[in-house]
Chains A and B, each alone.
Chain A
Amino acid sequence: MATILEVHNLVKKYGDFAAVKGISFDIQEGEIFSLLGPNGAGKTTTISVLSTLYAPTGGDAVVGGHSVSKEPMAVRQLIGVVPQDLAIYDELTARENLSFWGQMYGLSGKALKVRMDEVLDQIGLRDKANQRIRTYSGGMKRRVNIGVGLLHRPRLLFMDEPTVGIDPQSRRAILDSVKDLNKQGMTVLYTTHYMEEAQELSDRVGIIDHGKLIALGTQAELTHQVGENDTLVLHAGEGDDVAALAVAVRALPNVLRAEVTDHAVTIIAPEAEEILAPAVTKANEIGVKIHSVAIQEPNLEAVFLHLTGRALRD
C-alpha cells in the first residue's frame, strides 16, 4: 500500500497557545485512520491544517506527494472534507448544494449530473433532492454535508466528528456509509471522541490529547498497552460523592487505577470480579448508592484512561 498522507512533526500555534504540538503519523491508501481524543485535544485543528485551511506553524504534511504548506491548491484537489459543523446552504436544495460544491471542485456538465445522482443515491436522499435543506431533519442535513465531501471522488477524505449531535439511527447510517466508502477504496481520516466509533471503524488509531499524539497503532496494539486488565465501572447517582469513592477504591489491593468519569468511578484491575464486592462495600460505607455496574474487556477507553488518568469524556 502506498502512503497517502505523511505528517512530520506538525505544530500549530494560535499566538502563544499551541493547539498541536509536533505530531507525526502516516496513513496508507485504503485505510481508515481515526484520531481519538477528548474535546479540545487538537483533532479539528489537525484536520484544519492537513486540509490547508490553516498553514502549519511548524513541521509539514504531505498529501499524495504535495506539501500542505507549499502546494495547498494541489492538496485540495486530492482531498475531501466533511467538517464537524454543517457547512451547506439551508436555502438551497440538496441538488443545488451538490451542484454548487461539485462545480467548485471543477465538475461540470454530464459528469456533474451523473455524480450528483450517484451521491444522492449513496446518501439516500434522491427522492428528496429538490427540497430545500432547511426542511430536512438534522440527520438528513448531516448526510448532505457528507455527500458534498464525496462528490469529486477524493483520494483522502477527512471526516471531523461527523456524528456529533445526531440521533442513533443517523449515526448508524453514517458509520455504515464510512465503511462502504472504505470498501470502495477511499482512504478516510476520521476524528472522534467516541471510543466505540474508533473501535468499529478503524484499521489504526492515533490517540491525541492536549495537542500531542500519545499512542498510535492498531486496536490490538493499543489495548495491549493496558495488558490483560479489566475495567470495572460503578455508576452512582447525581448527588453522590464519586470522588470520595474513587479515593476509597484506590486504597483497595490490586486496584491499578480508579478515576471519576461523569457520575461513575472507572476502575482498572487485573480481575474486576475480585474488586467488585469490596468496592461496593466502600460505597456503602461512604454513603454512595451504586445504580449499576459494568465490567468491560480491555478497550480504547481503558487505554486512554491508562495513558492520561482521565476519561475520554472529561
Chain B
Amino acid sequence: MKKVLLIGWKDVTLAFRDRAALILMLAAPFLLTLGLAFVTGRFSGTADSGISDIAVVVVNQDGDQIGNALVDLLQSPDLDTLLAPSVVDDPALARRQVDDDKAAAAVIIPAGFTASIIPAPGAATAGPLVQLEIYGNPTRPTTAGIVRTIVDQFLSQVEVSRVGAQVVVTQLLGQGLIQPSDAAQVGAEVAARQTQVTQGSPSIALKSTTGDVAASFDPLAYMAPGMALMFLMFTASNGGRTLLSERAQGTLPRLLVSPTSSAQVLGGKVLGIYLTGVAQMLILIGASTLLFGLKWGDPLGVVALVLAAVAGAVGWGMLITALAKTPGQINAIGSAIMLIFGILGGSFLNIDYMPDWFVALSKITPNAWGLDGFNTLAMDGRLADLGEPIAALLAMGALLFAVAALLISRRGIAQA
C-alpha cells in the first residue's frame, strides 16, 4: 500500500508542476466561469441575483381563478424587478417570441386549467387533466430556469389548496356536518377561497417564493460546477495519459524492475489521478467561494459529491487510457470527450429543455450527475438528498474502472 501511495503522491506533485496542465485544470474553468458570470450580469449589482427583467410571455387561455392568479403573480410588484412579463392571446405567437430569442420562456395556461383542478359548481369531480406548458429558451437556461421555478412554486401552492379542500370535505362528511350531495360544492368553495387567499396575500407563499428564488438562483451556482466538472474530465484523461507517457519515457520500465508489482503501479497511477481530480475540484470550489462569495451548499454534501464525481470521471479517464495506443491519442480522445460530455452533461446548456433522448444519454456522463447533485445543494439540498447522483457516480466509476483494468491487463499497458 505504501508504494501505491508513493506513486500516487508523486503523480499529484507532477500534475501540479505541469504548467500546461494547470492552465486547463484550474485557470480555464475559473476564467470561463468568470466570463459567463459577466455575460449573465452576475457582477452588475442591480439585483440580489444579478439577473433582472427576464422577458416572459404569458398566454392565459384558462381565464378562470387559477389561470388568472398565475398571471397576477407573474405581473405582481414583488416580481417587478425580476420579471418583464407580456400577455398575448396566441400560444404560437408566444412560442415564436421564445424561438426568436425575444423571451426567456413562454407560460401557456391552457383552457380548462382551473376546472382540471377544482370541480366546477355542480360538478362532482374535476375536469380532465390539462397541462400548463412552459416553453423555455435553451439559449437562456438560467433565466428560463427561474421562470420555471416560480411557476413550480405556484403550482405547489395550488396543489396544497386542492388537497386541503379534500381533507376539509372528508372531515365534514365524517362528522355529519354536510351531506354527500353537497360535498362537491363545498369542496369547490373551500378550494376557491384558498386560491383567493393565495392570490390575494403576497405575504404567504408567493412572496416568499420570489424571495427564495432571488436568494438562491445565483447563476454562478450553475456555471461554476458545470465548468469544474467539464475540466475534471481533462484531469482524468490527462492522468491516464501519464501511464503511457511513463512507458515511453522509461520510468515505467524502471518501476517494473524495482521490487514493485504492476498492480501496485496501476493502483498508484489511479490514486494519483483521483487525488489530483479531488484537489482540482476543491481548489475551484474554494476559490469561487472566497472570490465570488458563491454558496455551494451543505459542505458535507459538497465533499461527498466531489469524491463521487471524481470517481466517475477517473473511470472514464482509465477507459480512454485502456483504449488508446499512444499519449497523443489520449490527448485527442480526452479533449473530444471533455467537450462532448460538457455539452451532453449540461455544462453549457440546461438539459432540462432538451429532448428526452438527450436527457437519457446525458446520464452516461459524470457531468450530468454531478451537476444534478450540485444544483440540489445550491437549492438548499443536503447530503441526504444526494443519494441518487452519488450512487450513480460511484457505480459509473467502479464499472468503468473494472472494464478499463481488464483491458489494461489484456493489453499489458501497465507492463513494459
Q: How far is the CA of A132 from the CA of B17 in the complex (A)?
A: 11
Q: How far is the CA of A2 from the CA of B260 in the complex (A)?
A: 28
Among listed A80-88, A201-209, A245-253, interface-contacting one: A80-88
How many Å from the CB of A89 to the closest CB on chain B? 6
A52 — which chain B residues lie within 8 A by C-beta? Answer: 257
B14 within 8 A of A: yes
B258 — which chain A residues lie within 8 A by C-beta? Answer: 76, 101, 104-105
Asked if B416 and A48 sit within 8 Å, CB to CB, the answer is: yes
B250 — which chain A residues lie within 8 A by C-beta? Answer: 83, 85-87
A89 — which chain B residues lie within 8 A by C-beta? Answer: 10, 14, 251
Asked if A81 and B257 sit within 8 Å, CB to CB, the answer is: yes
Asked if B416 and A53 sit within 8 Å, CB to CB, the answer is: yes
How many Å from the CB of A20 to the closest CB on chain B? 16
B18 within 8 A of A: yes
How many Å from the CB of A143 to the closest CB on chain B? 16
- Residues A79 and B6 in contact in the complex (CB < 8 Å), given A53-B416, A89-B251: no
Q: Which of A78-136 contact B (CB under 8 A)?
A: 79, 81, 83, 85-89, 91-92, 96, 100-101, 103-106, 132
B13 within 8 A of A: yes
Q: How far is the CA of A91 from the CA of B15 in the complex (A)?
A: 9
A88 — which chain B residues lie within 8 A by C-beta? Answer: 251
Asked if A100 and B6 sit within 8 Å, CB to CB, the answer is: yes
Q: How far is the CA of A101 from the CA of B250 in the complex (A)?
A: 13
Q: How far is the CA of A148 from the CA of B255 in the complex (A)?
A: 11
A77 within 8 A of B: yes
Taking CB as reference atom, which chain B residue is nearest A82?
B254
B253 within 8 A of A: yes
Q: How far is the CA of A89 from the CA of B11 in the complex (A)?
A: 10
A67 — which chain B residues lie within 8 A by C-beta? Answer: none
B293 within 8 A of A: no
Asked if A105 and B259 sit within 8 Å, CB to CB, the answer is: yes
B172 within 8 A of A: no
How many Å from the CB of A227 to the closest CB on chain B? 41
Taking CB as reference atom, which chain B residue is nearest A81?
B257
Max chain A C-beta neighbours (<10 A), residue from B2, B10, B14, B260: B10
Interface string of A49-71 (1 = CB under 8 A from B): 00111100000000000000000
How many Å from the CB of A83 to the closest CB on chain B? 5
Asked if A104 and B251 sit within 8 Å, CB to CB, the answer is: no
Asked if A87 and B17 sit within 8 Å, CB to CB, the answer is: no
Q: Which of B42-79 contact A (CB under 8 A)?
A: none
Q: How far is the CA of A96 from the CA of B13 in the complex (A)?
A: 10
- Residues A92 and B10 in contact in the complex (CB < 8 Å), given A48-B416, A86-B250: yes
Asked if B259 and A76 sit within 8 Å, CB to CB, the answer is: yes
Max chain B C-beta neighbours (<10 A), residue from A91, A103, A104, A106: A104
How many Å from the CB of B162 to the closest CB on chain A? 65
How many Å from the CB of A152 to the closest CB on chain B? 9
Q: How far is the CA of A104 from the CA of B260 in the complex (A)?
A: 7
- Residues A87 and B251 in contact in the complex (CB < 8 Å), given A104-B3, A105-B258: yes
Count of chain A residues with a beta carbon within 8 Å of a chain B beta carbon: 27
- Residues A83 and B17 in contact in the complex (CB < 8 Å), given A100-B6, A103-B6, A104-B3: no
A85 — which chain B residues lie within 8 A by C-beta? Answer: 249-250
How many Å from the CB of A184 to the closest CB on chain B? 22
B13 — which chain A residues lie within 8 A by C-beta? Answer: 91-92, 96
B256 within 8 A of A: yes
A132 — which chain B residues lie within 8 A by C-beta? Answer: 17
A76 — which chain B residues lie within 8 A by C-beta? Answer: 257-259
B251 — which chain A residues lie within 8 A by C-beta? Answer: 87-89
Taking CB as reference atom, which chain B residue is nearest A86?
B250
- Residues A91 and B6 in contact in the complex (CB < 8 Å), given A51-B257, A76-B257, A85-B250: no
A73 within 8 A of B: yes
Asked if B10 and A54 sit within 8 Å, CB to CB, the answer is: no
Asked if A77 and B259 sit within 8 Å, CB to CB, the answer is: yes
Interface string of B255-271 (1 = CB under 8 A from A): 11111110000000000
Of B17, B257, B260, B261, which is within 8 A of A91 by CB?
A: B17
Taking CB as reference atom, which chain A residue is nearest B259?
A76
Of A77, A81, A96, which is within 8 A of B254 by CB?
A: A81
Asked if A83 and B253 sit within 8 Å, CB to CB, the answer is: yes
A87 — which chain B residues lie within 8 A by C-beta? Answer: 249-251, 253-254
28 contacts between A and B (CB under 8 A): A51-B257, A52-B257, A53-B253, A53-B416, A76-B258, A81-B257, A83-B250, A83-B253, A83-B254, A85-B249, A85-B250, A86-B250, A87-B249, A87-B254, A88-B251, A89-B10, A89-B14, A92-B10, A92-B13, A96-B13, A100-B10, A101-B258, A103-B3, A104-B259, A105-B258, A105-B259, A106-B259, A132-B17
A76-B257, A87-B254 known; 6 new pairs, CB 8 Å cut-off, are A51-B257, A81-B257, A89-B14, A91-B13, A100-B10, A104-B6
Instruction: Kindly list the 4 A-B residue pairs having the minimum CB-CB distance in the complex, ordered from nearest.
Output: A87-B250, A87-B254, A91-B17, A104-B258
